[in-house]
Amino acid sequence: MEFAKLQVMACLSMTMDRIKELCSVADNQIRRFGSDERAATAIEYAMIAAGIAASISGVILTLGSTLKSNFYDKLAALLP
């Protein structure tokens, strides 16, 4: 009976050591994730690119038909 208790105690001790190790690894991963700013920078650049794309689209929609007609008129004037 005493041997079984020792086995259980040893098993619990190893389990607790493993839990402490996993908690330490998880803590390190969370700290690394919290200090990593690459994703935030990528999102900022994506927002800037989306703003530029929206601006270009707005300009093209606003001036597109005028530029197209002016371009075609000048092209037609060059052709005999």
Per-residue pLDDT of 14-66, as tens digits, reads 788 888 888 888 888 888 877 777 777 888 999 999 999 999 999 888 888 88
Quote the domain boundaries for residue 36: 2-78
φ/ψ of 79, rounded to 5, equals -85, 145
Whole-angstrom CA distances from 30 to 17, 26, 27, 38, 63 are: 20, 6, 5, 15, 50
- DSSP 8-state code for residue 80: -
pTM, two decimals, is 0.43
Instruction: Report how many domains make up the chain.
Output: 1
Per-residue pLDDT of 9-24, as tens digits, reads 777 777 888 888 888 8
How many Å apart are CA 49 and CA 14, to the nearest integer?
53
Helix (H) or strand (E) holding 64: helix 38-78
